[in-house]
Chains A and B, each alone.
Chain A
Amino acid sequence: MKRTTLKPNQISLLQRIHIDGWLLLGLLALMAVGLITLYSASGQDPGQMERQFTRLAVAAVVMLVMAQVPPMAYRRLSVYAYGLGLLMLIAVLVVGVVGKGAQRWLDLGFIRFQPSELMKLAVPMMVAWYISKFTLPPKHMQVGIGFAMVVVPTILIARQPDLGTSLLIASSGIFAIFLAGMSWKLIGFVAVALGAFAPIMWFFLMQEYQKQRVTTFLNPESDPLGAGYHIIQSKIAIGSGGVDGKGWLQGTQSQLEFLPERHTDFIFSVFSEEFGLIGVLGLLAIYLFIILRGLIIASRAQDAYSKLLAGSITLTFFVYVFVNMGMVSGLLPVVGVPLPLVSYGGTSMVTLMAGFGMLMAISTQKRFMSR
């Protein structure tokens, strides 16, 4: 028998559909852990499992689609995406829909849309686009403009108010600038400036509920039945898990519903309670693996825009992980950041996977050109 074509192996098949195998492996592992934990955290609710599974599938499709787009196309879209996002953020503040005490949604008639989600990608795209127009490292002037591009949407989102998302967006832009090679001197200066900004933020930008979260964070036991309840119950869940955990579906804090928000923001507490420190080590290894892979993709990217975008997306992913784990274990105030790809919930998952789609596009679509 004659064969004219080589039978493509798996890697080359993945290459053909622009999927990065290592990254995919990490993401699938994470999703698996997420579904297992959610099954327990939701109280074995098949409805929630079904909805989460659907979301993951949709997000995976979004990732696949995003992976097909050439990085250069993203570059060209950067300005429009950012501009559109900014307009919508302003629109949200004016005509937005109020939900859960915050004005985050834009009702487009057929769909309710959270413009801040678009900005999670548009801000690093815009900053990467702008910085990469010039040679690296960026000059002070470019850094300043880059920061301006970050600060405006950050403040708009913080006003909604949505402290968690504004934090994510600010860091995504700042990461791009940092990776571009912003001088250490300037970094020192910005750090000092931010320190000075903190009181301004406290007195002028933060809402009462956000201030309360910070106070509660500093001393949760001061109000064990009120604002401190979440964090205390979460720490009890984590601490009582011990080294090897109470076992899957055996976490009393979660199964008996002492733990609030256990399937969304506090799902890490459920995981820690049931799988213990050993499970936590495994989960952190998966996250670290994905981050490492993302940074490798960024380093191997061909052009500055791709590098900065890939790096920023990866590091922002880490911020999710760090802030979520930090807040549920009492290291950080509770700011409403989900544990990426594990927490129950749709919008941020789609955005995250769209970002990973871009990473995959950057990883797999390289033009063979000379420098």
Chain B
Amino acid sequence: MPAKRQHIRDHSAEANLFARRATIAFLIVVAMLGVVLSNLYVLQVKQHEDYQTRSNGNRIKVIPVAPNRGLIYDRNGVLLAENRPVFSLEVVPEKIADLDATLDALTKLMSITQEEKDSFFATLRGQRRFKPVALRTQLSEEEVALFSAQQHRFPGVSIEARLARHYPFKSTLTHVLGYVSRINKKDLQKLVEAGSEANYAATHDIGKLGIEKYHEDLLHGTVGYQQVEVNNQGRVIRVLDTEPPVPGKDLVLNIDIELQLAASKALDGERGTVVITSPKTGGVLAMYSSPSYDPNLFVHGISRKNYSALLNSPDRPLINRATQGQYSPASTIKPHLALLGLEQDVIDQHTTINDTGRYRLPNVSHVWRDWKRWGHGEVDVARAIEVSCDTFYYDLAYQLGIDKISEAMFEFGFGEFTGIDLYEESDANMPSRGWKRARFNQPWYIGDTIPVGIGQSFWTATPIQLAHSINTLVNRGERYVPQILRGYRYEDGQVELEPLKSLRPIQISEPANWDIVLNAMHDVVHGEDGTARHAFKDTTYESAGKTGTAQLFSVGQNEKYDEEEVDERLRDNALYVGYAPFDDPEVSVTVVIENAGGGSANAAPVARDMMDFYFRHHTFDPTPLASAVANQGSQ
């Protein structure tokens, strides 16, 4: 349309049109900015608190801080379990410009092995950013010093310290103290069930055995918290608030480490156990189970090889023989049975039998033999203890019957947990009619009762049960639960004693019967024919005790037990229970040595060693014990 083209443009109309459009555009701009603004108003005013919370949730993290585990001391203040700093060389790859060069330099400096590097890279994969990865754990002091001097060359590499348990006495106390080790899935599950997983949020190790496990709650303490500000990488920028952890309680044990060391020395090379307790308190002064092993191996993760060696050793070092070993108590329970006989009026102080070395029941062809083939002749109850006459007790058991025996022996703690503060305890077995029915679905035969009289047949006991029963005897019926824990130690060195745990005492109608039995035990050591008289010859103190020899191997009716011919593992177990001083017993000693032979020749000398050591050193002051008893009594 050429005509239109030649029209003179109406500039003012165009300007008005543009102005109108520009105004509309401006209004739209204002409207749209209004939308933006109202949205910002919603975010910054209406939803401000919500976003404020989320912003804080981003930046504020609560980091749990592990409490220091309580230390463990012996009764004289010797440190038995301590926390040692362990150092590890840790690398934060994100902070390092050239990881390969750094690793090469570290390899030169610290002679890092290829194995360590491989494990480092394996850990690195799938690791959160900025989280340190250990290149080497358990650095020696030399290595720490070596690296520290060169630290400036290695940004992003540092030495991290953590406290880890250490047991300076190594294998000496393993079965008492136990050990801690890394918290595993099973432990975690238990913690969750107990609702205490939060308390372990920062904790590395947990008690797995012994005192460490039993008193875990006391030793662990309470977790602390640090409120920190972190950046988007989770790196801590600053600490906002701190709630310090409460360290675990420092425990003091009844254990006397000197005595414990002596016990471990005495049992060196043997399979057996020594339990030394204080009858007045139930306190365990020493408890050694041989063979033992080094608990420190477990703290940093035992190697598969070492573990399977322990697990498969025929000597079974993992077992705590003192509390888990189930042995025939043999003649060591004769005093208890004697007391029962006297109490039940089945016998009296003057009742005698004529021991010919053989015992038969009426109308039964089976012959039970005395350990002395030709017998002891005329014996009364006291002499039957002194010379350990079997026949007397065959007859006594026969006359008492199994029901009375089981009932009374339960009271002495046989067949029951003593309640010692260890989870590794067996209740062993005190046989009864009900037990045999349940176990074998068989009736109790009269013939089963006879060997019970000499602590054989189905009767088994743990050494701690034996110790407990002897303590009950010497206390004339007062009973205290064997306790390893003595009390708590505070920062100023003061010790608060844990109250004693007493049980319902055994009461008898004729207290003089205690003396008959205890005097007989005195004669075992000091009598002319006492079975322990050789072992305790010329002691500076007066003591009492009872030997025991437990048969593991049934000798045929007309055969003779010949030690030389029997396989070593089937040889007799040697036992001894004793206490001293006779007048005012401070200490009771229980010794069981497996496959050693007779108790008088093999167990009694060890018990004597222990008593000698105890009285020679007198390493602890018995006064607090007495006052603790007094306290207990007034409660």
Name A residues whose Cβ lies closer than 8 Å to a Cβ of B: 135-137, 175, 178-181, 233, 235-243, 252-253, 256-258, 272, 276-277, 280-281, 284, 287-288, 291-292, 295, 298-299, 304, 307-308, 311, 315, 318, 321-322, 325-326, 329-331, 371
* Stretch of B40-48, B278-286, B362-370 at the chain-chain interface: B40-48
Choice from A252, A304, A322 contacting B36 with Cβ under 8 Å = A322
- Expressed in whole angstroms, the minimum distance between the Cβ of A300 and any Cβ of chain B is 9
> Is residue B233 contacting chain A, with contact meaning CB distance below 8 A?
yes
- Expressed in whole angstroms, the minimum distance between the Cβ of A288 and any Cβ of chain B is 6
CA–CA, A280 to B633, complex, Å?
A: 79
Residues from chain B with a CB closer than 8 A to the CB of A298 are: 18, 22
Most buried by B among A281, A295, A371: A295
B237 touches A256 (CB 8 A): yes
A256 touches B45 (CB 8 A): no
CA–CA, A280 to B39, complex, Å?
A: 12
A284 touches B33 (CB 8 A): yes
> Is residue B29 contacting chain A, with contact meaning CB distance below 8 A?
yes
> Which chain B residues numbered 219 to 275 have a C-beta less than 8 Å away from chain A?
229-233, 237
What are 8 A-B contacts defined by CB distance under 8 Å? A136-B18, A137-B17, A180-B18, A181-B18, A243-B48, A277-B41, A277-B44, A329-B39
A181 touches B17 (CB 8 A): yes
With A178-B25, A280-B37, A298-B22 in contact, is A329–B55 under 8 Å at CB?
A: no
Choice from A242, A288, A304, A325 contacting B30 with Cβ under 8 Å = A288
Name B residues whose Cβ lies closer than 8 Å to a Cβ of A: 4, 7, 9-15, 17-19, 21-22, 25-26, 29-30, 32-33, 35-37, 39-41, 43-45, 47-48, 50-52, 54-56, 58-59, 229-233, 237
With A239-B51, A253-B58, A256-B237 in contact, is A331–B45 under 8 Å at CB?
A: no
A-B pairs under 8 A by CB, number: 142
Residues from chain A with a CB closer than 8 A to the CB of B39 are: 326, 329-331
CA–CA, A135 to B18, complex, Å?
A: 12
Residues from chain B with a CB closer than 8 A to the CB of A321 are: 33
CA–CA, A135 to B5, complex, Å?
A: 8
Q: Which 6 A-B pairs have the closest CB atoms?
A: A239-B51, A240-B55, A256-B231, A239-B43, A257-B232, A240-B51
CA–CA, A207 to B88, complex, Å?
A: 50
Most buried by A among B19, B56, B237: B19
With A135-B9, A240-B48, A277-B41 in contact, is A315–B25 under 8 Å at CB?
A: yes
CA–CA, A292 to B25, complex, Å?
A: 10
Q: Across the two chains, which residue of chain A brings its CB closest to B233? A: A257
Q: Across the two chains, which residue of chain B brings its CB closest to A326? A: B36
Residues from chain A with a CB closer than 8 A to the CB of B4 are: 135
Q: Across the two chains, which residue of chain B brings its CB closest to A304? A: B14
Most buried by A among B51, B54, B231: B51
Q: Across the two chains, which residue of chain A brings its CB closest to B51? A: A239
Residues from chain B with a CB closer than 8 A to the CB of A179 are: 18, 21-22, 25
Choice from A175, A238, A307 contacting B40 with Cβ under 8 Å = A238
B45 touches A277 (CB 8 A): yes
Q: Is the interface of B mostly helix, strand, loop or mixed?
A: helix
Residues from chain A with a CB closer than 8 A to the CB of B14 are: 135-136, 181, 304
Most buried by B among A236, A242, A321, A331: A236
Q: Across the two chains, which residue of chain B brings its CB closest to A318? A: B29
Residues from chain B with a CB closer than 8 A to the CB of A238 are: 40, 43-44, 51
List 9 additional contacts besides A137-B17, A256-B231, A277-B41; criterion CB under 8 Å: A233-B58, A257-B231, A258-B231, A281-B37, A298-B22, A318-B29, A329-B39, A331-B35, A331-B36
Choice from B41, B47, B48, B55 contacting A237 with Cβ under 8 Å = B55
Q: Across the two chains, which residue of chain A brings its CB closest to B48? A: A242
CA–CA, A56 to B232, complex, Å?
A: 31
CA–CA, A311 to B10, complex, Å?
A: 20
CA–CA, A307 to B10, complex, Å?
A: 15
- Expressed in whole angstroms, the minimum distance between the Cβ of A285 and any Cβ of chain B is 10
Choice from A178, A181, A258 contacting B59 with Cβ under 8 Å = A258
Residues from chain A with a CB closer than 8 A to the CB of B233 are: 257
A178 touches B45 (CB 8 A): no
B11 touches A329 (CB 8 A): no
- Expressed in whole angstroms, the minimum distance between the Cβ of A269 and any Cβ of chain B is 10
Residues from chain A with a CB closer than 8 A to the CB of B54 are: 236, 239-240
A315 touches B29 (CB 8 A): yes
A256 touches B33 (CB 8 A): no
Q: Across the two chains, which residue of chain B brings its CB closest to A295? A: B22
Q: Across the two chains, which residue of chain A brings its CB closest to B46? A: A239
Most buried by A among B12, B44, B229, B231: B44
Residues from chain A with a CB closer than 8 A to the CB of B26 are: 291-292, 295
- Expressed in whole angstroms, the minimum distance between the Cβ of B10 and any Cβ of chain A is 7
Q: Across the two chains, which residue of chain B brings its CB closest to A232? A: B54
Residues from chain B with a CB closer than 8 A to the CB of A295 are: 22, 25-26
CA–CA, A326 to B33, complex, Å?
A: 9
Residues from chain A with a CB closer than 8 A to the CB of B9 are: 135, 304
A329 touches B36 (CB 8 A): yes
CA–CA, A253 to B55, complex, Å?
A: 7
- Expressed in whole angstroms, the minimum distance between the Cβ of B242 and any Cβ of chain A is 20
A371 touches B37 (CB 8 A): no
Q: Across the two chains, which residue of chain B brings its CB closest to A324? A: B36
CA–CA, A241 to B42, complex, Å?
A: 12
Choice from B12, B33, B43 contacting A288 with Cβ under 8 Å = B33
A258 touches B36 (CB 8 A): no
Residues from chain A with a CB closer than 8 A to the CB of B21 are: 178-181, 311
CA–CA, A284 to B32, complex, Å?
A: 11
CA–CA, A277 to B45, complex, Å?
A: 8
With A238-B51, A240-B54 in contact, is A258–B232 under 8 Å at CB?
A: yes
Residues from chain A with a CB closer than 8 A to the CB of B30 are: 288
CA–CA, A308 to B14, complex, Å?
A: 11
B17 touches A136 (CB 8 A): yes
CA–CA, A180 to B50, complex, Å?
A: 47
Q: Across the two chains, which residue of chain B brings its CB closest to A273? A: B55
Q: Across the two chains, which residue of chain B brings its CB closest to A371? A: B11
Residues from chain B with a CB closer than 8 A to the CB of A281 are: 37
B230 touches A239 (CB 8 A): no
With A284-B33, A298-B18 in contact, is A256–B59 under 8 Å at CB?
A: yes
CA–CA, A292 to B30, complex, Å?
A: 10
- Expressed in whole angstroms, the minimum distance between the Cβ of A210 and any Cβ of chain B is 22
CA–CA, A126 to B363, complex, Å?
A: 133
Q: Across the two chains, which residue of chain B brings its CB closest to A298? A: B22
CA–CA, A276 to B48, complex, Å?
A: 10
B40 touches A280 (CB 8 A): yes
- Expressed in whole angstroms, the minimum distance between the Cβ of B579 and any Cβ of chain A is 70
A277 touches B40 (CB 8 A): yes
- Expressed in whole angstroms, the minimum distance between the Cβ of B53 and any Cβ of chain A is 8
A276 touches B44 (CB 8 A): yes
Choice from A239, A258, A299 contacting B19 with Cβ under 8 Å = A299
Residues from chain A with a CB closer than 8 A to the CB of B25 are: 175, 178-179, 295, 311, 315
Residues from chain B with a CB closer than 8 A to the CB of A253 are: 55, 58-59
Residues from chain B with a CB closer than 8 A to the CB of A287 are: 33
